Chains A and B, each alone.
Chain A
Amino acid sequence: MRVAIIGAGVIGLSSALCIHEQFHGLVPSLELEVYADHFTPHTTSDGAAGLWQPYLSDHGNLQETLWNKETFDYLLGQLHSPAAKEMGLFLLSGYNLFTEPVPDPSWKNIVLGFRNLTPKELELFPGYSYGWFNTALMLEGRRYLPWLTNRLTQRGVKFFHKKVESFQELFSQGVDVVLNCSGIRAGHLQPDPELQPGRGQIIKVLAPWVKHFIITHDLKSGIYSSPYVIPGSEFTVLGGIYQHGNWSEENSAKDHKSIWDSCCRLLPALQKAKIVGEWSGLRPARPSVRLERESIRLGNLQGEVIHNYGHGGFGITIHWGCAMAAARLFGSILQEKKHLATPPGPRL
């Protein structure tokens, strides 16, 4: 049973790990292969700051809220394990700032210690009159992806630096199941007009005195188009760009100025911070995550595809819930092919 995972970002690698963990003992012939045109540190996941935080509203998409919760709870459980440091996992508290009162988010009871900001706290952020404080998690892509890669390598999963041009290409080589975790480039494998880039740009600075994330919101401009500051273990990420439909991965001087000026206004001490890097990436934005099975038939070639892409700016936030869901879909495929008597795994 050959399974090919397309994509080596957080979605591809975690889905691969989830499937291997759950099924390798049950399906002796299971062979996993990861195909990607980019590996860490050159994936979209590597550029993300790594803060666990869903968007403000789930738009009634309860499934995604559950996957977010599953991810948070899973990571929280890993916090005290010896692997946490290597995974790039740690607790981080911080602020969400608004210019007007907003309803509490779907994730208020998922994070730790969620509360509204006090008037004294709001004094720190002139121009913002409302906000939240909570403790969440950081999962740094630049550490998590190598950690996932190591776990997969230990398990005998093979990696191929290759741009897959079609699902058929893999089926014709004898692959039975494809996991499509191709993120922003999923459209190359199968057209999907709903998948659009949400271009972001970030500035990396040295500002080790910043111990909180600060995310501002401009409800008119939309998510991530207002300044944010997220301290990591090595550097602090300054951001605040979200450009729907912009495919450019080049750093823009105009965006740099916008990020720098707005973040320094938010945190005057940043003026003294040393800039150590800059990066642009394309959030794989979609009205909802595409996580579903598809049977592909072309001539005498047939295969199963599990799509798992379109996680926008919340890939790290939702990844484990989606990986588990993808694993369940894989389990049902195995059941149908009579590889398994009953699907394994916890019953929900």
Chain B
Amino acid sequence: MALRVFALNLIKTNRNLLQSSGKINGGCSVQVVTSATYATQVTVEATPAAVQKQKVSKAMKAYLKRANEHDEFMKTQHLDFQIGKRHLANMMGADAETFTQEDIDEAIAYLFPSGLYDKRARPAMRSPDEVFPARKAAEFDETGRPFHSMFYTGKPNFFQLLHDIVTETKKLNDLEERMLRRGNKPDDNQKLETAGFQLLPKEQLERFLVEHIADIEYQSFCSSMDRLIASPYAYKSRAFIERFLKPLIDQSKQLEVPKPKIDEQGRQYVTTYECLRKTARADVTVRLPGTGKITINGQDISYFSMEQSREQVSVEDLIKVVL
């Protein structure tokens, strides 16, 4: 700890005394406005004493050195990335200013074609922020005092998050109490949509918090979030919750609906080729102003000799395939 010594010395006119007092205080620099030696009083302006040389611990020194090295390293990487991007744009004949990450991906895929199965193994060029794992900024100041109050838990961000979740839950509970007393109900139109979402998986949460999390801790995070989301007034904390919801892919939206063609009689029809089931192959045609009849290789449903097969193919389902 730096000791700032404010020394106020009233010094007698005697110069010798002044000299000796200077020696006694040992390096306390005092600006002495000395007038003539015959003066009776001397005004001394007190200034902070020479700051004692701060004893920075070796750990602190090493930490600062590492932090600086990392910053330097990231700077060079960013620079390299920018230069590389411009080179790449030049090679592809595109405008270097408006060269997006998607363009980079396309260019790399074109210049370095790879047949590797795993996409993550293929050559890629991404911003150093994505490539190098995020590090925490200085968690404590020069004196060694941590900034975060929960620093000594080892995982301040994670535990802060849990505290935040509980705070939000309490807030919503209080709100619910007040609404019940007034006889109000939660707004159904604003209800939080959780059907197409799942909670952030453990790896993504670790990246978000820049901390390593144990499985048990992740489970407690999940159960706390479930509790918060289950509250009827969860939509009030939408901004907070949506940070931790990951959207799931809707399978049906991936499918392309085929366009119907018109046949000679003017009816619409759609034919799907190569429909598979074990080693069976079929081309299926569905017509829109239909009769509800099924024809398989010229036969009706008795093509399936097994009763179980006929039961499995429900007629209602076939008619329901609407174009």
The yes or no verdict on A and B being binding partners is no
Q: List residues of B whose CB falls within 8 A of some A CB.
A: none
Q: List residues of A whose CB falls within 8 A of some B CB.
A: none
